[in-house]
Amino acid sequence: MDGIIKLRPHHLLCTQGYSGKGYSEGFVSNMDIVTKRLRNNPDEKVEIIFTTDCLCSDCPSKVAEGVCKTDEKVQRFDKGVIDALGLKEGVYSYQELITKLDEQLGAGKEDERLKAICGDCEWYPVSACWRNIRDKKYVL
């Protein structure tokens, strides 16, 4: 993928929890490319956008530009991350964002801070989101 990676806020969490599973083959291939770039390049920038992004583009749940089949849920997840980081739309360093996020969400007793944002996501019980965030696995 060329150009800056555009991410909606809660995908800052998904790009850390992702472990090769996803909604469709196309979604997984795209996710592989995006996470490889983000996880291996300390200088990678991301553009935060409050709408569908470059991961939604290959997702079967994307209905149209700016519309996800599960908008009620994913917009709530986005809001949790916006509030945690005081985010606005714009360009940021991926590493700076996840460093702050992992410090905040990993500080609780267990996973209660992450759970409050996206605990009802279908991937939450089966993925390594909490472990990776607590261990700051992708902070370079």
Residue pair 52/62 in contact (Cβ under 8 Å)? The answer is yes
What SS3 state is found at 45?
A: strand
Residue closer to ligand SF4 (CB basis): 14 or 85: 14
CB of 121 to ligand SF4, least distance (A): 9
In the structure encoding, which two tokens stand for residue 74, read together?
């994913």
Residue pair 48/7 in contact (Cβ under 8 Å)? The answer is yes
Q: Which of residues 51-110 bind ligand SF4 (CB under 6 A)?
A: 52, 55-56, 59, 61-62, 68, 70, 74
Residue closer to ligand SF4 (CB basis): 12 or 56: 56
Is residue 12 a contact residue for ligand SF4 (CB under 6 A)? Answer: no
Residue closer to ligand SF4 (CB basis): 74 or 97: 74
Tell me which residue has tokens 């089949």.
69
Is residue 6 a contact residue for ligand SF4 (CB under 6 A)? Answer: no
Q: From CA 118, how far away is CA 25, in angstroms rounded?
A: 23
The closest alpha carbon to 4, from 36, 34, 32, belongs to 34
Residue closer to ligand SF4 (CB basis): 16 or 52: 52
Q: Which residues bind ligand SF4 (CB under 6 A)?
A: 52, 55-56, 59, 61-62, 68, 70, 74
